[in-house]
């Protein structure tokens, strides 16, 4: 255990989040997501609900502010315009963490393709369908506020 670090963030997930660079993406997937078929790096958080995993990751991961959106959800194939309740929870968590932009929808097969390119996939125990999220890592400016 570490002070100030969410206990959901175990050593493997912390190492991945720390190693990611600006623009790298991480998938937070529901329990039905085919992670083994789509990732080089996988962290399992079985039994941890998706919103709880998003909250833990958002507590340490800066989101990219050089792009229109830094959060993406899998679109519901049967209701493309409907934002699933689990994604509404993700949006509230990200907003509480300071992310003011929306979560862009990505068609299901395009989401899988993008997930294959992600730095890592975090598999949660989230049982609800469409509980998948991609987050794009941002950069932390130097203390003097200057660029990198």
Quickly state the pLDDT bin for 65 (edges 50, 70, 90): very high
Secondary structure (DSSP) of 15-27: HHHHH--TT-EEE
Active-site residues, by number, are: 22, 64, 112
pLDDT tens by residue, 76-128: 999 989 999 999 999 999 999 999 999 999 999 999 999 999 999 999 999 99
The dihedrals phi and psi of 35, each to the nearest 5 degrees, come to -65, -45
Q: State the pLDDT at residue 33.
A: 97
pLDDT over 90 for what percent of the chain?
Answer: 91
Q: State the pLDDT at residue 145.
A: 57
Local structure of residue 81 (DSSP, 8 states): T
């Amino acid at each position: 255990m570490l002070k100030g670090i969410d206990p959901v963030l175990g050593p493997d997930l912390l190492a991945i989040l720390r190693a990611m660079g600006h623009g790298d993406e991480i998938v937070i997937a529901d329990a039905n997501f085919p992670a083994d078929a789509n990732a080089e790096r996988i962290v399992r958080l079985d039994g941890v609900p998706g919103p709880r995993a998003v909250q833990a990751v958002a507590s340490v991961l800066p989101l990219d502010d050089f792009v229109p959106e830094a959060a993406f959800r899998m679109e519901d194939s049967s209701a493309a315009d409907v934002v699933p309740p689990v994604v509404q929870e993700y949006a509230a968590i990200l907003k509480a963490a300071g992310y003011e932009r929306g979560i862009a929808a990505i068609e299901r097969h395009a989401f899988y393709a993008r997930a294959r390119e992600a730095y890592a996939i975090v598999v949660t125990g989230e049982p609800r369908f469409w509980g998948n999220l991609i987050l794009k890592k941002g950069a932390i400016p130097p203390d003097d506020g200057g660029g990198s």
